[in-house]
Amino acid sequence: MEKPVSHVTRKLRQLRVPVLPDEEQEIKRLAAASGLPVAAYLRELGLNHHVHSMLDNKHVEELALIHGDLGRLGNLLKLWLADDPRTALFGEATLRAVLFKIEATQDDMHTLMRAVVLPQGR
């Protein structure tokens, strides 16, 4: 003899999400604007919306550090090109090394920017 199949409804499982009063009003407004009840609206957002991880913030911090490195390298290059006395000991080999470092740093920066703009799993 077969057991009857039990039907699971959404009312059996609920999630509690604490919000501030102004957040509640905004969520209700957005749900109404979408034509969905609040529960359906939040369910759609929760199941279909990709949320960026904190890892993205780490990439942004790394980009800021790389940006600073590029600025310092660029300033060094400007000093050398302007025949600043502080760079009198720098030769062509040093200049080429600085240019190579700038190019490598830009490549690192582009790689990180791609990781931030196009996160894994998308």
**Mind listing the pLDDT tens digit for each residue in 73-114?**
888 888 888 888 888 888 888 888 888 888 888 888 888 777
| Residue 87 and residue 65 in one domain | yes
Domain hosting 113: range is 54-117
pLDDT reading at 54 higher than 90: no
pTM more than 0.75? no
Q: Is 15 a domain residue?
A: yes
Specify the higher pLDDT residue, 43 or 120: 43
Q: Is 106 a domain residue?
A: yes
| Residue 33 and residue 61 in one domain | no
- Reduce the secondary structure of the chain to three states and give it as a string: CCCCCCCCCHHHCCCCCCCCHHHHHHHHHHHHHHCCCHHHHHHHHHHHCCCCCHHHHHHHHHHHHHHHHHHHHHHHHHHHHCCCHHHCCCCHHHHHHHHHHHHHHHHHHHHHHHHHHCCCCC
| Residue 65 and residue 88 in one domain | yes
Q: Is 87 a domain residue?
A: yes
pLDDT reading at 122 higher than 50: no
Q: Is 104 a domain residue?
A: yes
Q: Is 2 a domain residue?
A: no
**What is the rounded average pLDDT of the residues 21-49?**
90
